[in-house]
Chain A
Amino acid sequence: MEVVNIEKMSKTYVMGQVVLYALREVDLSISQGQYVAIMGPSGSGKSTLLNLLGCLDKPTAGNYFLNSQDVSSLDDSELSKIRGKEIGFIFQSYNLIAQLNVMENIELPMFYQGYSPSDSSARAEELAVMVGLGERTRHKPSELSGGQQQRVAIARALANDPVVLLADEPTGNLDSASGAEILEILDELHARNKTLIVVTHDESIAARAQRTIHLLDGKIDRDELN
């Protein structure tokens, strides 16, 4: 079953008189449970593709079916709902909210989906234990190491049991030991049949994925299975 299906998707930016193509008629489908790495030099359209996949942006042309639903025609409010429910973001710089503790950060996506506090705190507790932070649920992000913060971010991304996990250089800010821990968690999620899309520069990360997509100048240059 294909959870991501992109048909002839383009994204253009108009800079004065010039039209810049960030993505040119990209076709891409990713099936349930696949672990995909997206690679490419800067300016190749990785970030644009990630933003489109994450419903943070709308394509200029083409269609995007996420879990068989056409999301390219949805309005801002519906897109927000989809982002919260179907997509889990893992950022390079963790992006935890500083004034909230570990639990509250994990609960945030559930809060926006309208879960009751008792439901969401039970789920958050469970996720915190899963990423190995069961003892630190009352800590603030500033009291955690980079690796721990990224684990909180992963727990938060899993909160609403999304269809797709999108990770943007998840180990980019981490030392190799913490980075390895994060990659192990991602492997484990893959083993649990989660769909993972990881944008990276790192060949060793790409090597762990089942499939590597190389972007160049807004087009898919190579699409290879490992």
Chain B
Amino acid sequence: MNIFALKGTVKLGLKSLWMHRLRSTLTTLGIVFGVASVIAMLAIGAGASREAQAAIARLGSTNLIVETVKPPQQQELTGQTQFVTSYGLTYTDAESIRNTLPGVEVAVPVREMNADARHLIRQAAVKVIGTVPWYTEIAPIHLVAGRFLSSTDEHRELAVCVIDEQLGPRLFAYEDPIGMYVRISDSYYCVVGIVSAGSDVTSGGTSSTEDAASRSGVAGNIYIPLSASKSRFSNMVGNFGTSGRSFEIVELHKIIVKVPSNNEVLPTHQVLDTLLKRLHDKQDFRIIVPLELLREAERTTRIFSIVLGSIAAISLIVGGIGIMNIMLATVSERTREIGIRRALGARKRDIVAQFLAETLLLTFLGGIIGIFLGSFIPFFVTKFAHMATVTTFSSLMLAFGISGIIGLTFGLYPAWHAANMNPIESLRHE
């Protein structure tokens, strides 16, 4: 087929579609919504996946997080409430992990305390994190100003602290926080550094820091040396509930273990579990492995994508069947025209080209409108449902390509049917 014929065929197709504007529009809608839903669903799927991965990446994929959990109460067995319960990770645990696990790069012990931080008349509820200087190796900490805790701080049990970026304006109105003093439960700590928010691995789970902070009503984190926290904060936390008074003794809330590479995460997990089980007679710890969470999130996302993709594919196929149906109706309506064209010298392949061109034009136009619509849906999803979406160029091209394939697949049969009609009978057709 030469270029004139191609141009003529396309022009002819457009003319025929324009003659039946309403019909063409309605037929195209199936493809429009199919393509739009493919794009929207890919965008939502990719957004969910990226969000999950980002959340897990904050925890660090080569990290293992050992957390203190409250063991199940055994008061029913003994028949009396224990006045003081002692459980959780200990300094000994941290020491053992550092000394006996060969694959461990660093092991970072963490204590967490809830307290009020004050500066002059300003006050904020904060999470006090007692930790060691190499905390920075397991958390993607970004220093905004000053410095992080140093080994001198740790060694000398100095009363210094590093505060969250978001905490700065809460406690200090106009001054630079660096060098100022913050009062946390009767002790004064000198602010030596500011770190950016969202760099907190200690909040655990897959939720982002902002969410965790807003849930617990905590304005931000304050990091102090572990040694200082040991000497200034008691191990004991009192509960004054309806069932009477009870005290809990917890030495460490977390030990974050870092291994050199992803491959060593799972073996280390097993060894760590064995080691801690030997040291603990109660199930008062749990090990969170971000890498496993990541894998799980990937699996979930894949299932999510498959489900969404199937729905979109079904809607495209339904759209394609709609097009095929209309094209068959068009062919039978234009039987006489086909007969005339055949008498005037059109070969079968000319007729195939003519009807295939019409179907392809329909699906391409539908594809283009679908791309526009499909690019807007994720925008509204993000705006109103607050879900992250990622629209990629390749997903647009994929959806457009699929619409073309649908056009070809569902256009071939009607075109073939048109071409193979008997010219004599077609000419006689009313």
A positions within 8 Å CB-CB of B: 51, 54, 56-57, 76-77, 80-81, 83-85, 89, 91, 95-100, 108-109, 111-117, 156, 160
Tell me the complex Cα distance, A113–B341, Å.
Answer: 12
Interface centre among B15, B336, B347 (most CB of A within 10 A): B347
- A56-B424, A95-B336, A99-B16 known; A80 vs B8 contact (CB < 8 Å): no
Among candidates B7, B348, B424, residue contacting A77 with C-beta atoms closer than 8 Å: B348
Among candidates A83, A96, A99, A113, residue contacting B343 with C-beta atoms closer than 8 Å: A83
Q: Are A84's CB and B337's CB within 8 A?
A: no
Chain B hits for A98, CB < 8 A: 337
Q: Are A112's CB and B424's CB within 8 A?
A: no
Interface centre among B5, B16, B340, B341 (most CB of A within 10 A): B340
B102 at the interface (CB under 8 A from A): no
Contacts between chains A and B (CB distance < 8 A), count: 69
B174 at the interface (CB under 8 A from A): no
Q: Are B347's CB and A89's CB within 8 A?
A: no
Among candidates B5, B337, B348, residue contacting A111 with C-beta atoms closer than 8 Å: B5
B19 at the interface (CB under 8 A from A): yes
Chain B hits for A109, CB < 8 A: 344-345
Tell me how far the C-beta of A14 lies from the nearest C-beta in chain B, rounded to whole angstroms: 16
20 contacts between A and B (CB under 8 A): A77-B347, A77-B349, A80-B342, A80-B347, A81-B345, A83-B342, A84-B345, A91-B427, A95-B336, A95-B340, A97-B337, A97-B340, A100-B15, A109-B344, A111-B4, A111-B5, A111-B8, A112-B341, A112-B345, A117-B8
Tell me the complex Cα distance, A54–B339, Å.
Answer: 13
Chain B residue nearest in CB terms to A89: B343
Nearest first, the 8 A-B pairs at minimum CB distance are: A84-B345, A112-B345, A80-B347, A109-B344, A95-B340, A77-B347, A112-B346, A89-B343
Chain B hits for A160, CB < 8 A: 345
- A95-B336, A95-B340, A97-B337 known; A113 vs B345 contact (CB < 8 Å): yes
Tell me the complex Cα distance, A7–B29, Å.
Answer: 57
- A51-B424, A99-B15 known; A89 vs B345 contact (CB < 8 Å): no
Interface centre among B7, B8, B348 (most CB of A within 10 A): B8
Q: Are A114's CB and B343's CB within 8 A?
A: no
- A95-B340, A114-B2, A117-B8 known; A80 vs B345 contact (CB < 8 Å): yes
Chain A hits for B349, CB < 8 A: 77
Extra contacts, 19 of them, besides A80-B345, A108-B344, A117-B7 (Cβ < 8 A), are A51-B424, A54-B343, A56-B343, A56-B423, A77-B349, A80-B346, A80-B347, A80-B350, A81-B345, A83-B343, A84-B345, A95-B340, A97-B341, A98-B337, A99-B15, A112-B341, A112-B346, A112-B350, A114-B5
Q: 1/0 per residue B302-341: CB within 8 Å of A?
A: 0000000000000000000000000000000000110011
Chain A residue nearest in CB terms to B419: A76
Tell me the complex Cα distance, A9–B153, Å.
Answer: 114
Tell me the complex Cα distance, A89–B344, Å.
Answer: 8
- A111-B8, A114-B2 known; A81 vs B424 contact (CB < 8 Å): no
Tell me how far the C-beta of A175 lies from the nearest C-beta in chain B, rounded to whole angstroms: 22
Tell me how far the C-beta of B38 lies from the nearest C-beta in chain A, rounded to whole angstroms: 33
